[in-house]
Amino acid sequence: MSITGSTVGTDKRGVRELGGEEKVGWDEVQQGVVLNSFDGTTEGAAFLKAEERNYADFNSYTATVASWRIIKPVYNRDICIDCQNCWVWCPDTSIISRDKQMLGIDYDHCKGCGVCVEVCPTNPKSLLMFSEATDNDEALAGWPVKEKKEK
């Protein structure tokens, strides 16, 4: 399991590798191949944050694609202006934003595409890509300083 970028989420998030689920027999598979998004009933996901939802095991939220990643984004809260560019363009629902604030990265679902870094407008950037093996604290310790505009 990769390091956790943010503590916001449920304990179900990213608990299984894709394909790692129990392979049940014909008598236990879902009738009609129907998959439920949540256990029980829900008042509507639009009104619930991820951590308030009762995700079913069938929800891909419970799976991880962390192993796809070779490089990862590291987030520097000190520079971030909460513009939410990274949130709107993240293809993997992996930017955790709550109440207009960027909280961190969902490393269970981030595939390391790097779009968030490219669209980050701060100087220096509040998100930078590092190799997967890099320790986040080390990455933060060596964060670049503001680039001066070339004259």
Site of interaction with another protein (CB under 8 A): 14, 18-19, 21, 23-27, 29-38, 40-50, 53, 57-65, 68, 82-85, 87-94, 97, 99-100, 106, 108-115, 117-119, 129
Radius of gyration of the chain (CA): 18
| Least separation in angstroms between CB 23 and another protein | 6
- Identify which of residues 100 and 148 has a Cβ nearer to another protein in the complex: 100
For another protein, give the closer residue by CB, 1 or 89: 89
Q: How far is the CB of 21 from another protein (least distance, A)?
A: 6
Closer by beta carbon to another protein, 89 or else 144? 89
Q: Select from 120, 110, 22, 27 the least CA-distant residue to 76.
A: 120
Q: What is the DSSP string of 92-119?
A: TS-EEEETTEEEEE-TTT-----HHHHH
Residues 10 and 51: beta-carbon distance below 8 Å:
yes
Distance CA 15, CA 101 (A): 26
Please, which residue, 118 or 138, has the CB nearer to another protein? 118
Looking up tokens 């629902």, which residue turns up? Answer: 93
Nearer to another protein, 25 or 141 (CB): 25
Burial (CB count <10 Å: 0-12, 13-18, 19+), residue 97: middle
Nearest approach, Cβ of residue 150 and another protein (Å): 20
Q: How far is the CB of 125 from another protein (least distance, A)?
A: 12
143: phi then psi, degrees, rounded to nearest 5 = -60, 135
Q: Nearest approach, Cβ of 108 to another protein (angstroms)?
A: 7
Residue whose tokens read 């009609």:
32
